[in-house]
A and B are shown apart, each in its own frame.
Chain A
Amino acid sequence: MTSIITTGCSFTHDPDSWANILQDKISNNHNVYNCADGGVGQEYIVRSALLKLQQTQGPKICIAQFSGFWRLEFNVYKDENMLFDKVITESPDWEHSRTWYNNELTEDNFFILKTTDIGHKWWSNRPTIKKTLESVDQTIGPDQRLCWTYENILKLQLYCKHNNIPLFCFWGWGDCRPTRKDEILDNHINANDYPLASKVYNLVDWNNFWFHTDKGGMADWMIDHGHTGKLEEDHTNNPPKGYHEYDGKKSMIGHPTSTAHEDFCDQIIVPWVNNVLQ
Chain B
Amino acid sequence: MIDIIIGGCSFTHNKDSWAKHLAKHYEKDSVSVTNVAQGGVGQEHIVRSCLVALQKSKNKKICIAQFSGFSRMEIIVDQKERPELYSSIKMDKGYLKTDKQQSDAHAGTKMSFAGLVEGRQWENHYNDSIILLRTTDIEGGLTWYQVKTTAGKTLDKYNQTVGLDQRKMLSYEHIASLQWYCKLNDIPLFCFWGWDEYNMDPHNKEVVNASRDLVDWDNFWFHEGAGGMAEWMIAQGHHGCLDEDDINDPPKGWRFDLVKGKKMMIGHPTPEAHKDFCDQIIVPWVKERLLND
A residues contacting B by CB (< 8 A) are 43, 47, 50-51, 54-55, 74-77, 79-83, 101, 105, 107, 109-110, 113, 132, 135-136, 138-144, 147, 151, 154-155, 158-159, 161-162, 193, 195-196, 199-200, 202-203
Q: Can you report 7 residue pairs joining A to B where beta carbons are below 8 Å apart? A: A50-B214, A74-B162, A77-B204, A80-B203, A110-B204, A143-B76, A162-B180
- Asked if A200 meets B52 with Cβ closer than 8 Å, knowing A139-B157, A141-B81, A142-B81, the reply is yes
Option from A75, A83, A155, A196 in Cβ contact (under 8 Å) with B76: A196
> Of all chain B residues, which has the CB nearest A77?
B203
In Å, the complex CA distance between A159 and B181 comes to 9
Provide the residues of chain A in CB contact with B284, threshold 8 Å. none
Whole-angstrom distance between the Cβ of B57 and the nearest chain A Cβ: 13
Closest 4 CB pairs of A and B: A141-B81, A158-B180, A162-B180, A144-B76
Tell whether, in the assembled complex, residue A135 and residue B183 are in contact, meaning their CB atoms are under 8 Å apart. Answer: no
Tell whether, in the assembled complex, residue A151 and residue B48 are in contact, meaning their CB atoms are under 8 Å apart. Answer: yes
Whole-angstrom distance between the Cβ of A113 and the nearest chain B Cβ: 8
Provide the residues of chain B in CB contact with A155, threshold 8 Å. 173, 176-177
Option from B85, B157, B163, B169 in Cβ contact (under 8 Å) with A81: B163
Asked whether B82 is an interface residue with its Cβ less than 8 Å from the other chain, the reply is yes
Provide the residues of chain A in CB contact with B206, threshold 8 Å. 105
Provide the residues of chain A in CB contact with B158, threshold 8 Å. 135-136, 139
Tell whether, in the assembled complex, residue B211 and residue A47 are in contact, meaning their CB atoms are under 8 Å apart. Answer: yes
In Å, the complex CA distance between A162 and B182 comes to 10
Option from B127, B162, B210 in Cβ contact (under 8 Å) with A54: B210
Tell whether, in the assembled complex, residue A159 and residue B214 are in contact, meaning their CB atoms are under 8 Å apart. Answer: yes
Tell whether, in the assembled complex, residue A143 and residue B78 are in contact, meaning their CB atoms are under 8 Å apart. Answer: yes
Tell whether, in the assembled complex, residue A203 and residue B85 are in contact, meaning their CB atoms are under 8 Å apart. Answer: no
Q: B177-197 interface mask toward A, CB cutoff 8 Å, 1 = contact, 0 = none?
A: 100110110000000000000
Tell me what chain A mostly uses at the interface: helix, strand, loop, or mixed.
helix
Whole-angstrom distance between the Cβ of B250 and the nearest chain A Cβ: 38
In Å, the complex CA distance between A132 and B162 comes to 11
Provide the residues of chain B in CB contact with A51, threshold 8 Å. 207, 210-211
Asked whether B55 is an interface residue with its Cβ less than 8 Å from the other chain, the reply is yes
Option from B81, B163, B177, B213 in Cβ contact (under 8 Å) with A76: B163
Whole-angstrom distance between the Cβ of A194 and the nearest chain B Cβ: 9
Whole-angstrom distance between the Cβ of B203 and the nearest chain A Cβ: 5
Provide the residues of chain A in CB contact with B127, threshold 8 Å. 195
B residues contacting A by CB (< 8 A) are 48, 51-52, 55, 75-78, 80-82, 85, 123, 127, 130, 154, 157-158, 160-166, 169-170, 173, 176-177, 180-181, 183-184, 203-204, 206-207, 210-211, 213-214
Provide the residues of chain A in CB contact with B210, threshold 8 Å. 50-51, 54-55
> Of all chain A residues, which has the CB nearest B157?
A135
Tell whether, in the assembled complex, residue A158 and residue B76 are in contact, meaning their CB atoms are under 8 Å apart. Answer: no
Q: Which of B76, B169, B183, B211 has the most CB of A within 10 A?
A: B76
Known: A135-B161, A158-B177, A195-B123. 14 other contacts (CB 8 A): A74-B163, A81-B163, A83-B160, A139-B75, A139-B85, A141-B82, A147-B48, A155-B173, A158-B181, A159-B214, A196-B123, A199-B48, A199-B52, A203-B181
> Of all chain A residues, which has the CB nearest B165?
A75
Tell whether, in the assembled complex, residue A141 and residue B76 are in contact, meaning their CB atoms are under 8 Å apart. Answer: yes
Provide the residues of chain A in CB contact with B163, threshold 8 Å. 74-77, 80-81
In Å, the complex CA distance between A172 and B182 comes to 30
In Å, the complex CA distance between A196 and B211 comes to 25
Option from B78, B157, B184, B211 in Cβ contact (under 8 Å) with A195: B78
- Asked if A140 meets B75 with Cβ closer than 8 Å, knowing A82-B160, A105-B206, A162-B183, the reply is yes
Whole-angstrom distance between the Cβ of B197 and the nearest chain A Cβ: 17
Whole-angstrom distance between the Cβ of A92 and the nearest chain B Cβ: 14
> Of all chain A residues, which has the CB nearest B162?
A74
> Of all chain A residues, which has the CB nearest B207?
A101
Tell whether, in the assembled complex, residue A81 and residue B160 are in contact, meaning their CB atoms are under 8 Å apart. Answer: yes
Provide the residues of chain A in CB contact with B161, threshold 8 Å. 74, 81, 83, 113, 132, 135-136
Whole-angstrom distance between the Cβ of B213 and the nearest chain A Cβ: 7
In Å, the complex CA distance between A54 and B207 comes to 11
In Å, the complex CA distance between A142 and B158 comes to 16
Whole-angstrom distance between the Cβ of B180 and the nearest chain A Cβ: 4
In Å, the complex CA distance between A80 and B163 comes to 7
In Å, the complex CA distance between A45 and B58 comes to 33
In Å, the complex CA distance between A75 and B203 comes to 11
In Å, the complex CA distance between A81 and B131 comes to 27
Provide the residues of chain B in CB contact with A107, threshold 8 Å. 204
Provide the residues of chain A in CB contact with B170, threshold 8 Å. 43
> Of all chain B residues, which has the CB nearest A73?
B166
> Of all chain B residues, which has the CB nearest A109?
B203
In Å, the complex CA distance between A273 and B199 comes to 42
> Of all chain A residues, which has the CB nearest B173?
A155
Tell whether, in the assembled complex, residue B81 and residue A143 are in contact, meaning their CB atoms are under 8 Å apart. Answer: yes
Whole-angstrom distance between the Cβ of B217 and the nearest chain A Cβ: 15
Tell whether, in the assembled complex, residue A161 and residue B123 are in contact, meaning their CB atoms are under 8 Å apart. Answer: no
Whole-angstrom distance between the Cβ of B42 and the nearest chain A Cβ: 14
Tell whether, in the assembled complex, residue A203 and residue B55 are in contact, meaning their CB atoms are under 8 Å apart. Answer: yes
In Å, the complex CA distance between A270 and B134 comes to 46
Option from A47, A135, A151, A161 in Cβ contact (under 8 Å) with B180: A161
Tell whether, in the assembled complex, residue B55 and residue A202 are in contact, meaning their CB atoms are under 8 Å apart. Answer: yes
Provide the residues of chain B in CB contact with A139, threshold 8 Å. 75, 77, 82, 85, 154, 157-158
